[in-house]
A = this chain, B = another copy of it.
Amino acid sequence: MAVDIKTVLAESQLFQGLTTRDYDKLASIAVSVEFRKGDTILTEGDPALGFYIVAEGLVKVFKVSVDGKEQLLHVFGEGEPVGEVPVFSGTHYPAHVVALTPAVLVYFARDEFTHMLNANPQLALNMLATLSQRLRRFAGVIEDLSLKDVSARLAKYLLSLAKKQQSTSVILPLSKGDLASSLGTISETLSRTLSRLRAAEVVEVARNRIDLLDVETLESIAAGERVL
C-alpha cells in the first residue's frame, strides 16, 4: 500500500503544467493517509482544514437523508481531488466521504495550498477546470433526476461505463446498492430495472459484470426515446 506521492501528483490533472519546483513544494506540504474499506474520510459539517487527492482506491461522496437513505454525488478514483470545495468557499465539508476500497489519500492543508494558488496561475486554472467539470456533471445529474426515469439513468450510466472501460462488457465498480444511490433510486428498483433490460435482451447480467448486448437500444433508452 506504499504510494509515491510525486508520481500520484504528476498524474493528477490538477497538477499538470507545473514546474519541478512546484512539485517539490507540493510534495513537501503533502501528507499521505491510509484508509480501510468502509472508513470515513470526511464527515459532512466538519470544519474544513484541507482536502485530499485520491492516490489509490475508490471513495464515495454522498449526502444522507433524515431516514438514512444515501444519495451518491461522486465516486472518485486515482488523481481526483476530494473535499476541495470548502477550501474556496464555506468553512465546512458539504458531504460525507467514505472509502469504497482500501485507499490511500494525499492531504493538503488549506492554508498552504492557498498560498501556492496565489503564486501559481496555472494551478488556479487547473482547479477552475476541475470545478467546472464537476459543475457540468452536477448539472447533468440534476437534469437526469428531474427529467428522466430510472431506466434512462441506468442506460446512460452503463453506456458511460462502457466508454470508460472500452468494452461492451462492463464491470461495475460499485455494489448494486451504491449504484442505486448514485442513480437516485434504491436497490430494489435498480434490480427490477436491470431485470427488465435483461428480459428485453438489451443486457446480460452476471454478478457484477454486465454485457451490453444491444447498444443501440440502450442509447435510445438513455435518451428517453424508448419506454421499455
Contacts and interface: CB of A to CB of B under 8 A. Distances in A.
A174 interface: no
A127 interface: yes
Contact of A66 (B124, B129, B225): B225
Contact of A73 (B66, B89, B90, B142): B142
A136 interface: yes
A95 interface: yes
Interface residues of A, number: 46
A193 to B, nearest CB: 16
A133 interface: yes
Interface stretch (A27-35, A113-121, A163-171): A113-121
B143 A135 contact: no
Given A147-B65, A147-B71, A135 B85 contact: yes
Given A88-B125, A88-B129, A143 B66 contact: no
A223 interface: yes
A94 interface: yes
A145 B66 contact: no
Given A117-B121, A124-B125, A148-B65, A85 B132 contact: yes
Contact of A71 (B135, B143, B184): B143
A115 to B, nearest CB: 10
Nearest to A70: B147
A45 to B, nearest CB: 13
List the 9 closest pairs (A to B, CB-CB), nearest first: A65-B147, A124-B124, A138-B138, A89-B132, A88-B132, A63-B143, A71-B146, A146-B184, A88-B128
Given A119-B121, A128-B128, 15 more contacts: A63-B147, A66-B225, A67-B224, A71-B142, A73-B139, A85-B136, A89-B136, A90-B136, A94-B135, A94-B139, A131-B131, A131-B132, A131-B135, A142-B145, A146-B184
